[in-house]
């Protein structure tokens, strides 16, 4: 079935309250659900009540205490249809059913992970717990009673506040939780088990005392400290930046080790993949700390953007996700370095969202059709969705944006809203017309803006010509003209900025140029020296710019732009230019040479003491192999890309060796490890320098030494990667891997790093290593983190290994997708998305990729998740 946005209809029945009783048992959990229901005014009195259900065994149904007649209860295969219900009056509907948490391998609904009962309901998991109109626009007040064995489950948690606990005899006990805020079923949560807790508290701006609790495996409480600190900072930040306070007396987070995604914002009871909760210097890297901070914030911010105001239907997913990602991006930017955070965001957007938007799985930020909603928790909905919100903030300015957000919270609190509702708030609060802008929600594909410029010294006029287009995407052949806001600057030879006396041909507000036509010629008058156009500062618009800027101009921007992000952007574009040329040379069988000015500019940036170390680390990081592939676009030979990139890297390392060695010595972080952004930046810079120096020396010596000296996971894992990827045959590489495994064999989250380090070692031989690791004691197909760390990392992060010329990598992935699909369709479908760029490969590899996809498509039993991805990947 394909669901379409245009088919949306309000539900016939309104559910005001949901009373749930769970009698927990691993093999047969009884769920008694009593709904307080009324017919929506105007709905026919004979309309049946249709409820969703999936793998739920029905026991009985009664209305106002009377068992329903058998002929009025139809099991449809994906739920229930109840007929002959009261026509006018509200009624109470009680459904008794059974589920088996222990056998729930999909990790959707109620399942057990390491002996802990837990739930995941978004998007359509609640129907795997009980029969219910499982759609986000049905908002009800929930009361949850949990009964369980006291010994195995001393802890009984659900949404809201705990209002009662007691003993049931025979070793069982119960707790009752009440959540006063009406919510959709996807925000329901229940946790029961034996866990340790880290406790703290928070006083909100208006004086509400909130108990904060983070539940983790016993003995790991101390590892939740950074998550707790991040939570308190998030709560304060949302008050200060958006005026949003927390609204219950308790906020709980539970960390579980089997989880399909990162985390889930269930009301008052967030459930997290433990990867995004647990940290201490021995087990977590700087990147892990930054992720924990961001994801704790993300889920907390959902309390207002997602929970208090939710989505009318799943087509509107970006309403909560894009907005909440934007909010967590801003939070991290405020907590850390804004430009460095922005660089990381843009790298991630280009690495994940741009290829999605350019391939067969491309879809609008707000899709208008889907077969399986789980497949739409994508980089486009999340990251491009966030960029669209960022553009609204650019268009309206900080004050206008805040006014629109205030109106949104005010107007839609307690409702299930749409993108139209959201945009109307900004228009009504500021008067700004978003009529053309809203196409960003509906048109898929990354817009391309082609630019050319001329400066005429005689008339002192600078002219820039722009042409925009949006590539065709599946289901959208023709595109309309978009409103593209571009921050810009005209950088003069001395590094200062030109201030034109007049601009014609486009609207300009502050430093934003508004492209609103297919082609536009913009004249800047009163420009007395030749300027270099710095376009799309801050990566204000998520577009591809085609602009043949001279290397000298890019170098000028990289050295003189006032905006640090723009300096990085220019340097990155320059490096990309050189890398693409190097790949062409490599494929033609020539020797790769490197424009010396690129190396000089990179070295000068590394040496620039006015820049923070984290920025200098970013400046030194060349575009990755997948980035280069995306830039080249078609007929991709991953081996040539790898070889060319390695050659360029080596030249830069050799050219800068002396300076890099001197700089590395100034980047010490003495004393105890601290995860703060400044220290992390020094470590990142030191590791970037070490990589170049190791290449220059053609020796693993520095990495061996660093590995031996490391006293924290960041300093340990970086040389491990360096050894495994650059010196895989060396004694040091094998010794380091062995030492690492020995030290951390009891800590699966750290073993994931060990698996990934090996899975991403370049070259055709890695596939055999991956197969071997799958046979080893550390791998399990049933744990999503292990699958992602080994198979996911191999497919997504090892271009030469996965795209082996003989097609063995694709065949392997197909086998694994099929093997995992039977147990966990979401994980299988996600794994398969790593094939999305198959058409851009050179012909031989493309043929092998198609064969692997066709083999999956031909399997007799596929989940709807994998069916949807494989069909679209082959068709697009």
Single out the segment in contact with ligand ARG by CB under 6 A; choices: 231-239, 240-248, 260-268, 340-348: 260-268
Provide the minimum distance between the beta carbon of 826 and ligand ARG in the complex, in angstroms, as a whole number.
6
Q: How far is the CB of 186 from ligand ARG (least distance, A)?
A: 8
- What residues between 321 and 340 interact with Zn ion by CB under 5 A? 321, 324
Count residues near ligand ARG (CB under 6 A).
12
User: How do strand 269-273 and strand 250-256 relate by DSSP bridges?
Assistant: parallel
Binding mask 376-395 for ligand ARG (x = CB under 6 A): -x------------------
58 and 97 Cβ atoms separated by less than 8 Å: yes
Nearer to Zn ion, 385 or 638 (CB): 385
Residues in 488-517 at the binding interface with Zn ion, rule: CB under 5 A: none
112 vs 308, which CB is nearer to Zn ion?
A: 308
Quote the CA–CA distance of 683 and 493 in Å, as a whole number. 34
Q: Which of 140, 118, 145, 143 is nearest to 185 (CA)?
A: 140
Note whether 134 binds ligand ARG by CB under 6 A: no
Interacting partner of 263 out of ligand ARG, Zn ion, none (Cβ under 5 to 8 A depending on kind) = ligand ARG
Alpha-helical runs (H) found in 824-863: 825-832, 843-857
- Whichever of 213 and 298 has its CB closer to ligand ARG, that residue is 298
In the residue annotation, 122 being an active-site residue is answered as: no
Q: Which segment (83-91, 259-267, 710-718, 838-846) binds ligand ARG by CB under 6 A?
A: 259-267
How many residues touch Zn ion under the rule CB under 5 A: the total is 2
b/e string for 200-212 if b means 16 or more Cβ within 10 A? bebeeeeeeebeb
Site string for ligand ARG, 213-252 (x = CB under 6 A): ----------------------------------------
Query: Smallest gap, in angstroms, from Cβ of residue 294 to Zn ion?
Result: 11
| Mask for 717-756, x = binds ligand ARG (CB under 6 A) | ----------------------------------------
193 DSSP β-pair partners: 155
Catalytic residue among 122, 124, 293, 299: 299
Nearest-5° Cα angle at 506, 500 to 509 = 65
Work out what residue 147 binds among ligand ARG, Zn ion, none; the CB cut-off runs from 5 to 8 Å by kind: none
Cβ 373 to ligand ARG, closest distance in Å? 8
Report the residue number, 324 or 605, with the smaller CB distance to Zn ion.
324
- Residue closer to ligand ARG by CB (options 288, 299) is 299
Contact stretch for ligand ARG (CB under 6 A) within 60-68, 256-264, 723-731, 843-851: 256-264
Each residue 315-344 as x (binds ligand ARG by CB under 6 A) or -, in order, gives ------x-----------------------
* Tokens of residue 74, six digits: 């139809």
**Residue 377 near which of Zn ion, ligand ARG, none (CB within 5-8 Å, type-dependent):** ligand ARG
Interface characters, 113-132, with ligand ARG (x: CB under 6 A): ---------xx---------
CB of 262 to ligand ARG, least distance (A): 6
Q: Crossing angle of helices 677-697/613-620, nearest 10°?
A: 40
520 binds, among Zn ion, ligand ARG, none (CB under 5 to 8 A by kind): none
Contact status: 470 vs ligand ARG (CB under 6 A)? no
Site residues (CB under 5 A) for Zn ion, limited to 633-652? none
Contact 307, 288 (CB under 8 A): no
- Contact residue for ligand ARG among 97, 257, 307, 374 (CB under 6 A): 374
271 vs 648, which CB is nearer to Zn ion? Answer: 271
User: Of Zn ion, ligand ARG, none, which one sits near residue 684, judging by CB under 5 to 8 A according to partner kind?
Assistant: none
**Helices H / strands E in the chain, number of each:** 28, 33
The two tokens of residue 108 are 């959707």
In terms of CB distance, is 95 or 264 closer to ligand ARG? 264
Using CB distances below 5 to 8 A depending on partner kind, what does residue 863 bind out of Zn ion, ligand ARG, none? none
Chain centroid offset of residue 235 CA: 21
By beta-carbon proximity to ligand ARG, the closer residue of 119 and 453 is 119
Q: Which does 374 bind (CB under 5 to 8 A by kind): ligand ARG, Zn ion, none?
A: ligand ARG
Backbone angles phi, psi at 234, to 5 degrees: -65, -40
Residue among 298 and 556 whose Cβ is closer to ligand ARG: 298
Residue 260 vs 873, nearer CB to ligand ARG: 260
Token pair listed for 647: 């050659």
The string of DSSP codes covering 759-777 is: HT--STTHHHHHHHHHHST
261 binding partner (options ligand ARG, Zn ion, none; Cβ < 5 to 8 Å by kind): ligand ARG
Pairing type for strands 369-370 and 3-4 reads: antiparallel
Query: Three-state SS string across 246-265, please?
Result: CCCCEEEEEEECCCCCCEEC
Q: How far is CA 411 from CA 180, 507, 766, in A?
A: 20, 31, 55
User: ω into residue 123 within 30 of 0, thus cis?
Assistant: yes
Answer for the pair 164, 180: CB distance below 8 angstroms, yes or no: no
| 198, two tokens | 């880290």
For residues 693-713, one letter each, b for 16 or more C-beta atoms within 10 angstroms of the residue's C-beta and e for the rest, the string is: bbbbeeebebbbebbeeeebb
Range list of β-strands (E), 184-309: 190-193, 196-203, 209-216, 250-256, 263-264, 269-273
Q: Which is nearer to ligand ARG, 303 or 374 (CB)?
A: 374
Residue 568 beta carbon to Zn ion: minimum distance, rounded to whole angstroms? 27
Beta carbon of residue 377, minimum distance to ligand ARG (angstroms, whole number): 4
50 has which bridge partners? Answer: 81
Tokens of 675: 């995860």
64: its two tokens: 């106002």
Please check whether residue 867 is in contact with residue 847, taking contact to mean a CB–CB distance below 8 angstroms.
no
The 281-320 site mask, x for binding ligand ARG (CB under 6 A), equals: -----------------xx---------------------
Residue entry with tokens 């997948």: 626
Q: Determine if 261 is a binding residue for ligand ARG (CB under 6 A).
A: yes
Which residue's beta carbon is nearest to the bound ligand ARG? 377
- 666, 667, 668, 672: CA torsion to nearest 10: 150
Site for ligand ARG in 635-694 (CB under 6 A): none
Give the whole-angstrom CA distance, residue 106 versus residue 113.
12
C-beta closer to Zn ion: residue 324 or 760: 324
Q: Are 13 and 41 a contacting pair, CB within 8 Å?
A: no
441 vs 262, 361, 469, 560, CA distance in Å? 25, 16, 16, 35
Q: C-beta of 370: minimal distance to ligand ARG in Å? A: 12
Q: Quick one: which of 409, 96, 718, 512 has its CA closest to 705?
A: 718
With contacts defined by CB under 6 A, name the span among 257-265, 339-347, 528-536, 566-574 that binds ligand ARG. Answer: 257-265
CA distances from 49 to 19, 43, 46, 55, 95 (A): 18, 11, 9, 19, 13
- According to DSSP, residue 366 is labeled S
- Dihedral sign for Cα atoms in the order 587, 593, 597, 598: positive
* Options 263-271, 534-542, 688-696, 773-781: segment touching ligand ARG (CB under 6 A): 263-271
Residue count (the chain):
876
Nearer to ligand ARG (CB atom), residue 265 or residue 286: 265
> Whole-number minimum distance, CB 446 to ligand ARG, in Å?
23
Cross-strand pairs, 453: 464
User: Of 265, 387, 563, 865, which lies in the binding site for ligand ARG, with binding defined by CB under 6 A?
Assistant: 265
Catalytic (active-site) positions: 299
Binding site for ligand ARG (CB under 6 A): 122-123, 261-265, 298-299, 321, 374, 377
Residues that bind Zn ion (CB under 5 A): 321, 324
């Amino acid at each position: 079935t394909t669901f379409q946005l245009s088919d949306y209809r309000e539900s016939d029945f309104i559910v005001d309250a949901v009373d749930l009783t769970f009698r927990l048992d691993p093999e047969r959990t009884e769920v008694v659900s009593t709904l307080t229901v009324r017919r929506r005014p105007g709905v026919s009195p004979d309309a049946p009540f249709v409820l969703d259900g999936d793998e739920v065994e029905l026991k009985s149904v009664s209305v106002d205490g009377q068992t329903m007649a058998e002929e009025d209860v139809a099991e449809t295969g994906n739920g229930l249809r109840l007929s002959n219900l009261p026509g006018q009056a509200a009624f109470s509907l009680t459904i008794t059913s059974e589920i088996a948490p222990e056998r729930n391998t999909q990790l959707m609904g109620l399942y057990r992970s390491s002996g802990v009962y837990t739930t995941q309901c978004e998007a359509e998991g609640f129907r795997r717990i009980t029969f219910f109109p499982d759609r986000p626009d049905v908002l009800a007040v929930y009361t949850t009673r949990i009964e369980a064995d006291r010994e195995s489950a001393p802890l009984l948690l659900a949404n809201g506040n705990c209002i009662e606990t007691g003993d049931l005899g025979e070793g069982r006990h119960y707790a009752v939780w009440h959540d006063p805020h009406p919510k959709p079923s996807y925000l329901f949560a229940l946790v029961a088990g034996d866990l340790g807790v880290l406790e703290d508290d928070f006083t909100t701006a208006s004086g509400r005392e909130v108990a904060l609790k983070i539940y983790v495996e016993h003995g790991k409480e101390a590892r939740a400290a950074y998550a707790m600190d991040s939570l308190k900072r998030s709560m304060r930040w949302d008050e200060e930046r958006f005026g949003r306070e927390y609204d219950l007396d308790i906020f709980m987070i539970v960390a579980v080790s089997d989880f399909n995604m990162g985390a889930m914002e269930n009301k008052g009871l967030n459930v997290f993949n433990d990867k995004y909760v647990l940290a201490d210097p021995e087990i977590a890297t700087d990147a892990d700390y930054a992720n924990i901070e961001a994801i704790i914030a993300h889920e907390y911010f959902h309390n207002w953007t997602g929970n208090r105001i939710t989505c009318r239907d799943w087509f509107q997913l970006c309403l909560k996700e894009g907005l909440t990602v934007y909010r967590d991006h801003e939070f991290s930017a405020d907590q850390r370095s804004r430009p460095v955070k922005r660089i990381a965001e843009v790298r991630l957007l280009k690495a994940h969202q741009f290829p999605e938007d350019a391939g067969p799985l491309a879809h609008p930020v707000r899709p208008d059709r889907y077969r399986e909603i789980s497949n739409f928790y994508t980089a486009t909905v999340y990251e491009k969705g966030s960029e669209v919100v960022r553009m609204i903030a650019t268009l309206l300015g900080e004050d206008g944006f805040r006014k629109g957000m205030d109106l949104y919270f005010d107007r839609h609190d307690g409702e299930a809203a749409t993108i139209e509702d959201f945009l109307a708030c900004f228009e009504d609060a500021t008067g700004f017309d978003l009529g053309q802008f809203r196409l960003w929600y509906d048109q898929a594909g990354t817009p391309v803006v082609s630019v050319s410029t001329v400066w005429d010294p005689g008339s002192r006029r600078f002219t820039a010509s722009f042409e925009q287009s949006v590539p065709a995407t599946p289901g959208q052949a023709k595109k309309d003209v978009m409103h593209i806001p571009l921050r810009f600057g005209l950088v003069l030879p001395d590094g200062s900025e030109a201030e034109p006396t007049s601009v014609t041909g486009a609207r300009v507000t502050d430093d934003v140029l508004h492209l609103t036509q297919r082609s536009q010629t913009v004249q800047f008058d009163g420009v007395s020296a030749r300027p270099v156009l710095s376009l799309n500062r801050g990566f204000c618009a998520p577009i591809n710019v085609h602009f043949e800027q001279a290397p000298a101009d890019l170098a000028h921007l990289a050295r003189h732009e006032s905006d640090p992000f723009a300096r990085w952007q220019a340097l990155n574009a320059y490096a990309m230019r050189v890398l693409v040329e190097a790949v062409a040379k490599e494929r033609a069988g020539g020797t790769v040479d490197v424009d010396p000015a690129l190396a000089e500019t990179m070295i000068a940036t590394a040496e620039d003491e006015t820049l923070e170390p984290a920025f200098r680390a970013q400046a030194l990081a060349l575009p990755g192999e997948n980035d280069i592939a995306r830039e080249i676009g078609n007929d991709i030979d991953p081996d040539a890309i790898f070889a060319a990139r390695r050659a360029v890297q080596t030249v830069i390392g050799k050219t800068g060796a002396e300076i890099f060695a001197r700089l590395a010595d100034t980047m010490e972080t003495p004393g105890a490890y601290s995860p703060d952004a400044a220290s992390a930046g020094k470590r990142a810079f030191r590791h970037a320098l070490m990589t170049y120096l190791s290449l220059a020396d053609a020796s693993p010596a520095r990495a061996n030494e660093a590995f031996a000296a490391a006293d924290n996971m960041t300093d340990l894992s970086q040389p491990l990667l360096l050894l495994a990827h650059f010196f895989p045959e060396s004694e040091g590489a094998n010794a380091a891997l062995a030492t690492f495994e020995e030290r951390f064999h009891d800590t699966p989250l750290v073993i994931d790093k060990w698996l990934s380090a090996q899975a991403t070692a370049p070259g055709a031989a890695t596939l055999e290593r991956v197969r071997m690791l799958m046979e080893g004691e550390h791998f399990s197909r049933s744990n999503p983190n292990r699958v992602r760390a080994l198979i996911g990392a191999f497919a997504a992060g090892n271009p030469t290994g996965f795209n082996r010329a003989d097609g063995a990598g694709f065949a392997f992935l197909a086998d694994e997708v099929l093997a995992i699909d039977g147990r966990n369709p979401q994980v299988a479908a996600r794994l398969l998305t790593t094939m999305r760029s198959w058409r851009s490969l050179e012909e031989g590899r493309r043929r092998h990729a198609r064969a692997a996809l066709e083999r999956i498509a031909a399997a007799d039993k596929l989940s709807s998740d994998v069916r949807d991805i494989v069909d679209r990947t082959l068709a697009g």
